[in-house]
Every structure is written in C-alpha cells, then in structure tokens.
Structure 1
Amino acid sequence: MRSPDTPPEVLAFGEAMTMFVAEHQGELSDVEHFQRRIAGADTNVAIGLARLGRRVGWLSRVGNDGFGRYIRRTLEAEGLDCRYLINDPEHPTGLVFKERAADGADPHVEYFRRGSAASHLSPDDAAAVDFGALRHLHATGIPPALSPGCRELSWHMLDKAREAGASISFDPNLRPSLWDSDAEMATTLNAMAAKSDWVLPGLAEGQRLTGLSSHQDIADFYLERGAKAVIIKLGPEGSYYRGVIGGREQSLMVPGLPAAEVVDTVGAGDGFAVGVISALLDGRSPREALHRGNLIGAEAVQVRGDMEGLPHRARLEQLEALIDTPTDR
C-alpha cells in the first residue's frame, strides 16, 4: 500500500472550473436551476486515470473561495493527489455554465474564466514537483492558451518531464477563441506536440493545426517532428494509430463502438484519451489501446456530465469482458 507521502506517478495540469449544468433544456437566459459539477478537459483525464487505479497528481490554482474549495474536495474524493493545487487569495476560481442539449447535440457552453486563478499559473508553481518520481505527464493545448504564464508553465512541464524520462501524452484540445490567431495556436501547439511521445488530436483538430486533410498525412506531420506515435480520433468511425511497434513503424485502424444512446457528447474525447493512455501505461498493444479508447469514449457519451461516465477499473473489466478486445498476439 502506498504512503500518502508517495509522489504521484502520473501528473496533469491546467484549469479546473466549477460548472453549472442547466436542469432543463432551453437557453441559459431562461434557466433558473442548475446542478453544480466540475469541468476541465485536463481534470477529466486525470480523474479517469485515477479511477483506473493510477496515482495521479493535479497541478493548478484555484481561488480562495467556495468554488475553489468545492473543486479541491471533489478532486480529492476522486482520488487525485492535490499537493500541487495552490490556493490563490487574489484571483477567483473560473466558472462555466452549460445548457442541457437534446438528442445528443453539442450543448452551448459559456465561460467566466478571464483573470481566473488558474490563468495566473507560472513555472514557479511547479517548483515542488518531484519529476524524478514521475512516470507519465498528460498535457493539453488549453493551458498555453490561457495566458503567457500558463504557456511558460506548459513548456516547463514538457521539458522537465522529458529530462526525467517520463512519457508524455499531448491532446491539442483546441480552444481557438483563447488565441490571438490560428497561426499562433498552430505554431505553439505543433511545437509542443513535437516534444511529446503520444499525440492525440481529433481529425478536425489535426486538419486545422497542420493544414493537411488525411489522417495519414497528419500522423506523418507529427512523426517527422519528433512524436513517437500519433493517435487520431475519427469519431464514430473509430481511431487511427501510426507509430513504432516492435521496432518498426506501423499503422492501424480500429473501428468505433456504437453507443446505445448519446446523451452528452462533452468529454468523449477525454474518455478516449483515458482509454488510450491507461492501456499504454498498462503495457497493452496500440491496437488494444485504441480499442479501449473507443470503448471508454462510447461509454462517456451515454451519461450526462463531462466525466461522470468514466469507468472505474471494475467497470472497465466488465466492459472489456463483454466486448472482445482485439490483440496483436
């Protein structure tokens, strides 16, 4: 049994926000009642990996307010190590309001995050991180979009994790409205992806970042710049892998899995990332990793909420037992 003092083996960083989800369908201007939850692509993946048994740390800032205390309490209840979560007495916790969409449509979301505590992150906030104990770092394109300080932190985290020999996953998670231009977004995120081992863009994201149309060309773009493997989300069609298997470069495609009912599409990509990263950390083959990513992604969209559908290890084992996992053996 690990001591509470044991540093996390997996680390994620970014912004967690308190989210208010409309209880009924309709425009936000007409909604009177909301349910309180947490939101953040980076925390979704961190929670998903923690539910599957990984010791996961979370690095961020929250305001010294009720929303920040709620986030800390929720993340700790999910098993995250919050030793690197800083209370900021000068800036508030970010908020997000989310409509309740019908028939699986993408819900409208409104953010109130400008000047938030997390947007004031900097490399100084990582001073206490034990990178020597780190096995894996998960990064996304959201922190570098928040502020210059957050961008510096992102570079710092990637460099320190690489120096320590930890593996790195990078999901672009595009937020174009937070960037000054598409060109700045593409240049920055492509360079960060090149420092990563596993790059996980959606097809549309890859097209926007590289200017290329096919998933094969997008994968080659990142492999040529230093990534070890590129895993591309193709929506209901499944996912595509290109990288090194057994010492030689290979590519493969794994078809998607149907969802019995699409309730909430937000968080599907994060569920896919949880599946892929957890499987690769478990020593599974790329084919098995893509299958698990498709499986958890399909599971995530059947539940209302960004991370509520992410399975614990026992549930994942049940799902994998019900659906044959393809292998390379």
Structure 2
Amino acid sequence: MPSHDTPPEVVAFGEAMTMFVAEHLGELSEVEHFQRRIAGADTNVAIGLARLGFHVGWLSRVGDDSFGHYIRRTLEAEGLDCRHLINDPDHPTGLVFKARAAHGADPHVEYWRHGSAASRLSPSDATAVDVGAWRHLHATGIPPALSASCRELSFHMLDKAREAGASISFDPNLRPSLWRSEAEMASTLNAMAAKADWVLPGLAEGQRLTGLETAHDIAGFYLERGVKAVIIKLGPEGSYYRGVLGGQEESFTIAGIPVPTVVDTVGAGDGFAVGVISALLDGRAPREALRRGNLIGAEAVQVRGDMEGLPHRDHLASLEASSDTSKGQ
C-alpha cells in the first residue's frame, strides 16, 4: 500500500453516501432488512484505483455524524488518502437506499442527499491541496449537479490539474433529475469534458449530451474540443475508442466479455473506468486499456454491490492472464 506521508498522485472528488441495500427482493416499502455499504460513482473509481496500488486522494465533505464516520473508516480501510475529507458539523451525510433486482435488472434506488455536507463543497475546500504532486485527476458529472458551489469546485479542480500538467479523465455519469434543465446539464458537462484528456461516456450519455447518434460522431464532437481520446461504453457489446496518439488518429471497437450471470449492473461503468484509467496510467496501449476496462466491467456485474467486484492488483493480473490464454485458444 502506498505511503500516506506524501501527497496523493491520483485525486478524485465528489459525494460519498452511506447506502442501505435491501437483503431481499421486493419493493423498498416492503423491505425490513438492509446491509450497509457506501455509494458514489466517484468513490467507486477511487477505490478501484487504490486497490490497484495507486496512491489516491479523496476530496469531499461528510457530516460529523455516524454515517460520515463510517464512510471515512471505510475509505481509509480501502487505502484512500482522506486528508482532504472534511467533517461538516452543520450538514448531514447523504443516504441512499437500493432495492434488490432480479435477473440483472437495474435496481430501484432512492436518494436522501438534499442539503448534504458534500453539496456544500466549494473551491475553498481545495486550498490546501498539493496540486504539484498530482499525476492524474478523475472527475465526473455528478458534483456539478449537486450545487452551484460544487460546480465551481469541479471547474477549479480541472483547471488546477491542467496547470499541474496532470492527466484528466472525465465520466459524465448523467444524473438528469439533479439538473434544472437538459440544456444546462449538456452545456456544463460538455464544458467540463473539453478540459479533460480522456472522456468516458456511455453511448446513450454521449447521444444525450451531443445530439449525435454514432459512437464515431460523438467521439468527434469531443476531439474537436481538444480532448485526446474518447472511450465510449457500449454495454455488453464492449467499448469504442477514437483518439489521437503521436499525431495519428485511431479508432476501433473492443468486443465485450461474456458473463455467465449478471447479478448487479450498478457500478459496471465505474469498473470500466477503473480498468481504462489504470491501464493508461500503467503506460498500456489504448487497445489494452479498453480490454482491461471491459474485463473489470464484466467482473463488476457478477457480484452484488457497487464496488465489491473491483479487483486488487494480483487478482487483476490473474484475470488478464486468463483472458489472454482464452484468446489464444
């Protein structure tokens, strides 16, 4: 595990919530027993990268309450550097309740996050961050949807990463219900994407944000705005890449990895992001990065929980070795 005596090399920010997952199938109104977990697309990616050996810092706010203390303990146990996780005595930790769904269907989820501590994040919370140590920043479209001050922080973090020369990944992670309008969501997230190096939308997200239909055209939309590479999630069909490397444009599709049983689809996109980002930070070629993204995404859907399927480095090595062996047969 990396030493936390030094500032983190990879940074993520956003809202972590305490999640209660139904133990049995059925409507949430009928469920009596829940298991406690943590939830948040940003933390899923942060945890996934930490499990692969990166020194990951987490910037956020939690309430100075039992749920906030639980989140801090959980993230630190996963290896995250929480020096920039602020305890807010005046606002609560956000909560989320998740139903159990059968046959791999998307589960029903209900949020209790209005007025949460994380929604009070602002650029002033990042004043003590040592940006000179940054190697990579991961951002999503969730924080800017939470509040005006979170939106200011989002652009502040992207600008600071640019100034530091760090690479930036951006996953739109659309949450339309949190935005005042579709137009505001699209304009804000496209502006954030334009500041990133690697943009990772799902196909439907890309269509919604750009008004374009094909993966090729969606990628072109962002490449024209200065992005280096666009990696589009295609679900079970795999993923699509279009980018510029060494002055040459390249595009290709990597087929998805079949899974015997889909248990829980939540967190699959975050697992894919972990695979792609970690591989690119490892110096792997884009094709290898997409294969790793597909591989971890496939692992994520085979277990119950948002981040339970994210592998540690030794398990990833065995997964990649097995994948290479099966391709050779």
Q: TM-score, structure 2 length as denominator? A: 0.98
% identity of equivalent residues: 83
2:196 matches 1:228:
no
User: Alignment partner of 2:293: what SS?
Assistant: helix
CA RMSD of aligned residues (A): 1.3
Give 1:50 deviation, angstroms: 0.3
2:101 matches 1:110:
no
Alignment match, 1:78: 78
1:147-193 alpha-carbon deviations (Å, 9 max, x no partner) = 00000000000000000000000000000000000000000000100
Alignment match, 1:201: 201
Per the alignment, do residues 2 and 36 of structure 1 end up closer, same or farther by CA in structure 2, a change over 3 Å counting? Answer: closer
Q: Deviating runs (4+, > 2 A) in structure 1?
A: 1-4
Does the 8 Å contact 2:15/2:60 carry over to 1?
A: yes
Give 1:2 deviation, angstroms: 5.3
User: Alignment partner of 1:58: what SS?
Assistant: strand
Q: Distance in 2 between matches of 1:63 and 1:291?
A: 39
Letter in 1 for 2:232: I
Give 1:313 deviation, angstroms: 0.4
1:37-61 alpha-carbon deviations (Å, 9 max, x no partner) = 0000000000000000000000000
Alignment match, 1:99: 99
User: Alignment partner of 1:241: what SS?
Assistant: strand
Alignment match, 1:294: 294
Q: Distance in 2 between matches of 1:59 and 1:319?
A: 31
Does the 8 Å contact 2:15/2:143 carry over to 1?
A: yes
Give 1:5 deviation, angstroms: 1.8
Does the 8 Å contact 1:291/1:326 carry over to 2?
A: no
Alignment match, 2:122: 122
Per the alignment, do residues 316 and 166 of structure 1 end up closer, same or farther by CA in structure 2, a change over 3 Å counting? Answer: same
Alignment match, 1:181: 181
Alignment match, 1:303: 303
User: Alignment partner of 1:226: what SS?
Assistant: coil
Alignment match, 1:47: 47
Give 1:252 deviation, angstroms: 1.2
Give unpaired runs (5+ residues) of structure 2.
Answer: none
User: Alignment partner of 2:98: what SS?
Assistant: strand
Q: Distance in 2 between matches of 1:183 and 1:79?
A: 38
Alignment match, 1:28: 28
Alignment match, 1:254: 254
Letter in 2 for 1:181: S
Give unpaired runs (5+ residues) of structure 1.
Answer: none
Per the alignment, do residues 173 and 55 of structure 1 end up closer, same or farther by CA in structure 2, a change over 3 Å counting? Answer: same
Give 1:249 deviation, angstroms: 0.9
Give 1:36 deviation, angstroms: 0.2
Give 1:325 deviation, angstroms: 8.4
User: Alignment partner of 1:290: what SS?
Assistant: helix
Does the 8 Å contact 2:229/2:242 carry over to 1?
A: yes
Q: Distance in 2 between matches of 1:249 and 1:325?
A: 30
Give 1:245 deviation, angstroms: 2.6
Q: Distance in 1 between matches of 2:143 and 2:125?
A: 13
Give 1:247 deviation, angstroms: 2.8
Does the 8 Å contact 1:291/1:325 carry over to 2?
A: no
Alignment match, 1:242: 242
Per the alignment, do residues 11 and 220 of structure 1 end up closer, same or farther by CA in structure 2, a change over 3 Å counting? Answer: same
